[in-house]
Structure 1
């Protein structure tokens, strides 16, 4: 990890730690770090991501319309290269993951053109994965 590149730390609640281990480790391919019987640290593309075991989640079922789709809110995710995006989409499909929004090209031909997909982990946490052909477009207006 390069010290001058900021990394985020994110923690999410999960109701089944072994299901989280299978999903984030085997399906998404995140290397596992430290763990206990109540939490697991993951390397989510260079970011520290932690799944914490809880008795139940207080998931909010809200959506926001974006480009003709109902985007789940809240959600979290990562920005990948276009190749890594499609490789992960193939892994998710191969594992039988149900997509909230299937992988597609959003804002085609407009500022911020991006590949995007939404799916949920076994505890219902919504994830978005994006890929920009041109990283200079990440904050395009």
Structure 2
């Protein structure tokens, strides 16, 4: 997993300024280039662009049952280092993030042990952050 290239992801948001504040101030992502309809962010080393798109209708959150929890689909996020995950989750708890799935440990003591959490941005885009106890088990069965 050496030399992983950064991904580029562009997502729709229905309020550019509210979402700009969320990604910049809540998730502490550095802002890059922008216009009056989009903003680039350094999303944990990756390029995330929020693009304004008017809200056409209220989105219904779709979920799939995983570990007895309703995991939002679609979702995106980052695999962090174990300590970084716990530091971020503590910051988000202090910032009163409304979690879809609160931080917890999956596969405790097993291959692929991981910490995970889910929450929504102000436009309803679902984010998952996770960390593996042993990063070499990212794709282990």
Cross-structure match for 2:33: 34
Shift of residue 36 of structure 1?
A: 0.6
Structure 2 spans left out of the alignment, 5+ residues: none
Q: Is the 8 A contact 1:57 1:123 kept in 2?
A: no
Shift of 1:57: 5.9
Give the corresponding residue for 1:78. 78
Q: Which residue of 2 aligns with 1:132?
A: 132
Q: How does 1:1-141 map to 2 (within 5 A)?
A: 4-56=3-55, 59=59, 61-141=61-141
Contact 1:13 1:57 in 2 (8 A): no
Give the 3-state SS of the residue equivalent to 1:130 in structure 2.
strand
Q: Quick one: distance in 1 between partners of 2:50 and 2:71? A: 22
Give the superposition deviation at 1:92.
Answer: 1.2
Contact 1:25 1:31 in 2 (8 A): yes
**Structure 1 residue runs of 4 or more that deviate by more than 6 Å after TM superposition:** none
**Residue ranges of structure 1 left out of the alignment (5+ in a row):** none
2:42 match: secondary structure: strand
How far does the alpha carbon of each residue in 1:39-84 deviate from its partner, in whole angstroms, 9 at most, with x for none?
0000011100000011116645211111121100000000001111
Match of 2:104, SS state, is strand
Whether the 8 Å CA contact 1:63–1:73 is kept in 2: the answer is yes
Cα distance between partner residues in 1 of 2:69 and 2:40: 32
1:67, 1:89 → 2: CA distance?
20
Residues 12 and 52 of structure 1 are in contact (CA less than 8 Å); yes or no, is this contact kept in structure 2? yes
1:110: how far off?
A: 2.1
Please state how far the C-alpha of 1:138 moved relative to its aligned partner: 0.6
